[in-house]
């Protein structure tokens, strides 16, 4: 009796899966037409999937007993095991398969967000990463270029890829202060002054933006230990449940408010509106920044919005140091004035 007698083909996403023994030393997948146990033949038109296990001669293909349709046999494995290994060849043919370059991209992004690589760090070579991920250099290059386009990495001729920013700039006011300072080789800091949840009396412009209860995160940002700017971040209380001081580290890349809101509270935004104007330093601001009351400073207001155009957070910033705007980029078509 042939070895496949008593078994019937198991429909598997358009393939028929059957049982046979094979002594081929190669560990591979072979597709063909069934022909009295041969992996390739022409006598029957039904396709088959052959999984080879080398010289062991063990039953190597999942099959289903005709008298026990619920029982699946293949070296003690089930059909679900095969589907996990070969989702396109055995199992749900509609199950999406993530491209290798996206797998690498997602893993590298995870490493960046977990501070595995700090700002300014040079990444391992393409060859080294290809060995780590068991993919080609072309795949690695495509993954890294995606991170360059997203603003996380910078590519430098002759020196490979470097970490440029852990919170890529989406709009002018959304560039991470933490990353900008780290790129200069200096030490950013963030002293938490206080958290109000909810704030009892938000300013009129903040109340107008949100129209709902808001929390205020009040911090003094420093560079190399010296005061740089005073920041109040306003967020709807419903978006920051569980807001507490331990969410705001004083040092390290994790102090970035952009990363805190994104990573800890899963907030997302797609655009921002910023206003910059000169002003005279109020008493509290002057005291915090170590300058004279009435000294000329800059006041910045930045509101970030999500894809539905709902406000996500609003920053009020006072800083004593100048701001340099780089407005270079692709030209935009505008209507004549």
CA distance 201 to 206: 10
Tens-digit pLDDT profile for residues 150-177: 778 888 777 889 887 665 554 446 678 8
CA atoms within 13 A on the CB side of 152: 19
How many other CB atoms are found less than 10 A from the CB of residue 78?
13
Could you list the beta-strand ranges (E) of the chain. 7-8, 10-12, 15-17, 29-33, 47-51, 63-65, 68-73, 153-156, 160-163, 188-196, 214-223, 226-236, 271-280, 296-305, 311-319
How does residue 325 score in pLDDT terms, banded at 50, 70 and 90? low
Average pLDDT (239-261) is: 89
| More confidently predicted of 39 and 113 | 113
Strands (E), 104-209: 153-156, 160-163, 188-196
**337 is written with which tokens?**
């004035």
Is residue 225 classed exposed, middle or buried when 0-12, 13-18 and 19+ CB atoms within 10 A define those classes?
A: exposed
Greatest mean pLDDT among 5-14, 121-130, 160-169, 176-185 lies in 121-130
DSSP 215: E
**Weakest mean pLDDT among 129-143, 173-187, 214-228:** 173-187
Supply the mean pLDDT for the chain. Answer: 72
Q: Are 9 and 17 in contact (CB under 8 A)?
A: yes
DSSP structural state of residue 255: G
Full-model pTM = 0.51
Q: State the Rg of the chain over Cα.
A: 30
* DSSP-based three-state secondary structure for 100: helix
- Which positions ≥6 away from 176 have C-beta within 8 Å? 165, 166, 167, 169, 256, 258, 259
**DSSP label of 261:** I
Give the tokens for residue 237: 């209380």
Q: Is the dihedral of CA 191, 197, 200, 206 positive or negative?
A: positive
Listed residue (170, 168, 238) closest to 178, CA to CA = 168
Task: Report all structural domains of the chain as residue ranges with CATH numbers, in order of start.
Answer: 7-85 (no CATH), 100-163 (1.10.10.10), 172-319 (3.40.1410.10)
Structure tokens at 165: 């920013």
Question: Which has more confidence, 138 or 116?
Answer: 138
d(CA 337, CA 49): 68
Q: Is 333 left (phi over 0), alpha (psi -120 to 50) or beta?
A: beta
270 contacts 256 by C-beta, under 8 angstroms:
no
Mean pLDDT of 300-319: 91
The residues, any chain, with a CB within 8 Å of residue 251's CB and separated by 6 or more, are: 187, 188, 189, 190
Q: Which residue has the tokens 């033949």?
A: 41
């Amino acid at each position: 009796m042939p070895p496949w007698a008593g078994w019937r083909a198991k429909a598997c996403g358009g393939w028929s899966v059957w049982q046979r023994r094979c002594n081929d030393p190669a560990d591979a997948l072979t597709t063909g037409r069934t022909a009295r146990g041969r992996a390739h033949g022409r006598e029957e038109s039904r396709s088959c999937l052959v999984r080879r296990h080398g010289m062991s001669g063990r039953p190597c293909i999942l099959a289903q007993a005709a008298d026990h349709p619920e029982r699946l046999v293949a070296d003690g494995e089930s059909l679900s095991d095969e589907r996990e290994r070969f989702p396109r060849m055995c199992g749900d043919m509609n199950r999406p398969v993530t491209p290798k370059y996206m797998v690498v991209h997602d893993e590298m992004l995870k490493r960046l967000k977990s501070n595995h690589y700090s700002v300014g760090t040079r990444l391992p070579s393409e060859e080294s990463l290809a060995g780590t991920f068991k993919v080609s250099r072309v795949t690695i290059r495509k993954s890294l270029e995606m991170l360059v386009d997203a603003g996380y990495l910078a590519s430098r001729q002759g020196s490979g890829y470097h970490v440029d920013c852990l919170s890529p700039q989406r709009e002018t006011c959304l560039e991470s202060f933490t990353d900008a300072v780290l790129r200069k080789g200096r030490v950013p800091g963030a002293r938490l002054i206080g958290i109000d949840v909810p704030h009892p009396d938000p300013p009129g412009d903040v109340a107008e933006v949100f129209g709902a209860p808001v929390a205020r995160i009040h911090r003094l940002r420093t560079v190399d230990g010296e005061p740089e700017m005073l920041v109040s971040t306003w967020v709807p209380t419903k978006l920051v449940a569980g807001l507490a001081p331990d969410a705001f580290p004083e040092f390290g890349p994790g102090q970035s408010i952009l990363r805190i809101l994104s990573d800890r509270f899963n907030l997302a935004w797609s655009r921002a509106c910023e206003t910059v104007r000169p002003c005279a330093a109020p008493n509290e601001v002057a005291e915090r920044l170590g300058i004279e009351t009435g000294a000329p400073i800059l006041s910045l207001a930045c509101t970030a919005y999500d894809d539905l155009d709902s406000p996500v957070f609003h920053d009020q910033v006072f800083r004593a140091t100048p701001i340099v705007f780089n407005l270079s980029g692709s030209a935009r078509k505008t209507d004549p004035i």
